[in-house]
Amino acid sequence: MQDDLKLKNYAPGTVGQYLSCARRFVEHFGISPVSLGEEAVRKYVLQMAEQRSPATVKMHVAAIRFLYEVTLRSPEVVVGVHFPKVPHRLPDILSLDEVRRLLEAVEPPIYRAVLMTAYGAGMRISEACSLLTTDIDSGRGVIHVRQGKRNRDRYVMLSAVRLAMCEAKARAGITKRVTPHSLRHAFATHLLEDGADIRTIQALLGHGSIRSTARYTQVSVAHICKTRSPLDRLPAPTGGEGGKATP
C-alpha cells in the first residue's frame, strides 16, 4: 500500500495518515483484510462514525477505499462504503494588525522568513518550507511553486515552523484559532478586501476550481459590509395623510 501511494504521488504526510488508518483497520480485526467482506467493513466504519468526528472518519474511509480499490484490487468490498458529510467550517481570519503582530513575534528569524513568505505569496506552508533559491526569479519578480514530488527531508522543517508560530501566537496575544495555513487564508481575504479580482486570487492560490476561492467572500467582513442590501434599493414608503410616512 505504501508503494502504491508513492506511485500515485501522494504527499508524504498523506501517505503516513493513510498507512496509520489502514494499520488500525487491520489491527481491529486481527486478520488479513483480504478475508473481510463488505458487511464487515461497513460495520467498522459505522462504529467509527459513532465515536469519531466526520473529518476523522472521512480520512479512515479514504484509506480503506484506497487499500481495497488500489492495493488489493477488490473495489467491490468498499462499493457501499461512502464518505461522511463533513460540516463546512469557516476559518478564523487574522486582521492585518494581527498578522503584523504575529510575524513580529516569530522566533528565530529563519521561521519568520518562512512564514512571511507564506503570507506574502499566499503559499501553503509545505510549499514555503520546500522553496529553493533557484525557485525565486528576481528578474521577473515571481516565485516558482513546484508541484513535483518532494523528498521527505524537505518537510523536516515543518513541525518546527508550527511550534514557532504557536509560540508567536501566545506572545502576540492572539486568541483566534491560528495555524500556518491561516496566513494563506489571510492572504486571500486581504487581497479580496483590497479589491483584487477573485479570478486573480484563484490563480495566485493555485485553486483548480473557483468554488474553492469563492469561500473567501463568506469570511471577508469588509467585502460583506461593502455589499448593498436589496432592501436599500426599494423606494421610500408612500406617505399617508398630509404626506407623512406611515409607521
155 as an active site residue: the answer is no
SS3 of residue 129 by DSSP? helix
199 as an active site residue: the answer is no
184 as an active site residue: the answer is yes
CB 35 within 8 A of CB 19: no
SS3 of residue 120 by DSSP? helix
Longest dimension (CA), the chain: 88
Q: Residue 67 carries which DSSP code?
A: I
Given 112, 169, 184, 190, the catalytic residue: 184
Given 149, 171, 176, 177, the catalytic residue: 149
Given 42, 150, 154, 207, the catalytic residue: 207
181 as an active site residue: the answer is yes
As a whole number of angstroms, the distance between CA 81 and CA 41 comes to: 8
88 as an active site residue: the answer is no
144 as an active site residue: the answer is no
Residue 92 identity: D
Residue 203 identity: A
Contacts 24+ apart (CB under 8 A), 83-88: 83/58, 84/49, 84/54, 84/57, 84/58, 85/54, 86/54, 86/55, 86/58, 87/54
Given 24, 124, 150, 154, the catalytic residue: 124
Given 162, 181, 215, 223, the catalytic residue: 181
Catalytic residues: 124, 149, 181, 184, 207, 216
